[in-house]
Structure 1
């Protein structure tokens, strides 16, 4: 049987089912509020991601280092070993990434 819109919505709670009235307008308003709230909670996140993506495209070696750092439990020595680079080089690249993106990926600090 095809689904038909209803003025009632079933709500299950604590093992009981209850029908509550809900209009299409109320549902739309609720979804709009949830969407607005979700976007507000993101804040500048989409802008930050776009900026980091642009930096990564211009500096692929920095992106490679950031990814290796994340995959190495954020440990410079393990990242360096995995990338076959000196630890100083990995640290310098992470500092360069932080300078270009404004994101200190080592716990909010580049030190």
Structure 2
């Protein structure tokens, strides 16, 4: 079934077989983010959430997967601990500057 809601095209699939064929097997043909003219106007082209599928999207996804997977997160632990100790020391030495320390 096809309908248009608030200038957005909507297709309703009521068959599991058709849904699997279209959305699982051929998802790259039908799945994408909508084009937003404001993405370019406001300079949001770097934002992964607004990228349309393509080579740039794949490159961003690869980088995000590499840097944000659980095993990679462990490599950030020494920096996190160092910055935590630095924050506590700064707060201890200059408590009046608390907001600035947190911002840093």
Bigger relative CO (Cα 8 Å, ≥ 6 apart): 1
Tell whether the structures are fold-level matches, with TM greater than 0.5. Answer: no
- TM-score with structure 1 length normalisation? 0.27
Larger-gyration structure (1/2) = 1
TM-score, normalisation: structure 2: 0.28
